[in-house]
Amino acid sequence: MQPSVSNHSQPHSTSLPSDNLTSEPQPSLEPSLPTPFATERQRAYIGVFDSGVGGLTVLRELYRQLPNESILYFGDTARLPYGTRSQAEILQFVREILTWMVQQGVKMAIMACNTSSALALEAVRREFKIPILGLILPGARAAVQQGSRIGVIATPATAASNAYRQAVQEVDETAEVWQVGCPEFVPLVEQNRISDPYTYQVAQEYLAPLLQQQIDTLVYGCTHYPHLAPVLRSLLPPSVKLVDPAVSVVAAAAQELELLGLRNIRLPLPTRFCVSGNPEQFAQVSVQWLGFTPTVEKINLPEVLSQIVS
């Protein structure tokens, strides 16, 4: 196998930002929304989706950084992995998921999937009215803060798109970027085979060309890959910094919610976990990263969407 290389836990309380108040109230030039509507929008879910359990790395960051937000999580497990799909397929899947999420009333969507972010983000941002955040640019910004010789491990589709190289060089044109497509990582994570000797063997082969380039920074170019951190860390020099774009995309989401006045200041609703495939399998695999066994709903997207249309 020769990789191709190219040059909820319980929420905590949060404090409200202080408002700039004057001694006399100033009249508003714009009609204000009724308070019940504003409260309802603030309490609406943030939609998070991935092909499977990879997006749980983003979910954990949401729990940490935005503990008051309610989350709707969707894993498209019936159609994973995304990383070997065509751009047309990915775009169709993302449109279906977002159509369903909008129908569920989400106030924002986070693509917790680098493949979707690389291949579909710009198109769906033009088609849907809710804020939609992707992982590539936040990850690139975080990477250049850590180093200038940047390795990216990603799905074959993300690596082939050159999305990370383009994003990194938009931020810092002097940075060098090497990308490796890692087709076996997602199936190994989904099969809960992280500790298998075979996983270490595969990881060593994927990392070898990046280590030859003497990288100083490694970006998780797929949200499944932070689950492999013990494996990757054991194979990397201590000097190589690991960058998880999940941290940065959630920080960007927090900023966006603040700007839009959509931060929830009340207690969150329980997280909704939904999948297109086997709910029991998702619950079994995800418990080790969530710290609890989630209740998982099965959603048949084509069936649900046909009901919306009709």
Where is the domain boundary, 244, 267, 293?
A: 244
Domain that holds residue 103: 38-134+248-309
* pLDDT tens, per residue, the chain with 310 residues: 444 454 443 343 333 333 333 333 333 333 334 444 448 999 999 999 999 999 999 999 999 999 999 999 999 999 999 999 999 999 999 999 999 999 999 999 999 999 999 999 999 999 999 999 999 999 999 999 999 999 999 999 999 999 999 999 999 999 999 999 999 999 999 999 999 999 999 999 999 999 999 999 999 999 999 999 999 999 999 999 999 999 999 999 999 999 999 999 999 999 999 999 999 999 999 999 999 999 999 999 988 788 776 5
Which pLDDT value is given to residue 212?
Answer: 98
Q: What is the DSSP code (8-state) at residue 49?
A: E
90 and 216, same domain (yes or no)? no
Which pLDDT value is given to residue 304?
Answer: 79
125 and 270, same domain (yes or no)? yes
Q: Which one-letter amino acid corresponds to residue 183?
A: P
Q: Name the domain count of the chain.
A: 2
Query: Is residue 16 one of the residues assigned to a domain?
Result: no
List the strands of the sheet with 296-298, edge to edge. 132-133, 108-111, 46-50, 71-75, 272-275, 296-298
The residues assigned a catalytic role are: 113, 222
65 alpha-carbon distance from chain centroid: 14
Where is the domain boundary, 244, 275, 300?
A: 244
Distance CA 146, CA 140 (A): 10
233 and 87, same domain (yes or no)? no
Query: Is residue 30 one of the residues assigned to a domain?
Result: no
CA dihedral 47, 48, 50, 54 (to 10 degrees): -160
255 and 215, same domain (yes or no)? no
Sign of the four-CA dihedral 293, 295, 300, 305: negative
Query: Is residue 20 one of the residues assigned to a domain?
Result: no
Query: Is residue 3 one of the residues assigned to a domain?
Result: no
168 and 198, same domain (yes or no)? yes
Q: Residues near 58 by Cβ (< 8 Å), separated by ≥ 6?
A: 48, 50, 110, 112, 135, 223, 246, 249, 250
Distance CA 49, CA 139 (A): 17
Which pLDDT value is given to residue 305?
Answer: 84
125 and 258, same domain (yes or no)? yes
**Residue 114 to residues 47, 136, 161, Cα–Cα distance (Å):** 16, 7, 11
Burial bucket for residue 68 (CB in 10 Å: 0-12, 13-18, 19+): middle
Q: What is the DSSP string of 215-238?
A: -SEEEEESTTGGGGHHHHHHHS-T
Q: Which residues pair with 243 in a beta bridge?
A: 219
Query: Is residue 282 one of the residues assigned to a domain?
Result: yes
Sign of the four-CA dihedral 158, 220, 49, 45: negative
Which pLDDT value is given to residue 309?
Answer: 64
97 and 179, same domain (yes or no)? no
Q: What is the DSSP code (8-state) at residue 263?
A: -
Where is the domain boundary, 244, 259, 280?
A: 244
Q: Name the token pair of 259.
A: 């700007």
Query: Is residue 295 one of the residues assigned to a domain?
Result: yes
Cα angle, residue 143 at apex, residues 178 and 52 outer, rounded to 5°: 80
Here the CATH number for the domain that contains residue 239 is 3.40.50.1860
Which pLDDT value is given to residue 86?
Answer: 96
- Phi-psi group of 291: left, alpha or beta (phi > 0 → left; psi -120 to 50 → alpha; rest → beta): left
Distance CA 56, CA 286 (A): 8
Distance CA 93, CA 95 (A): 5
Q: Name the token pair of 40.
A: 């309802």
Which pLDDT value is given to residue 310?
Answer: 58
Q: Are 147 and 216 in contact (CB under 8 A)?
A: yes
Query: Is residue 86 one of the residues assigned to a domain?
Result: yes
Which pLDDT value is given to residue 251?
Answer: 98
Which pLDDT value is given to residue 306?
Answer: 84
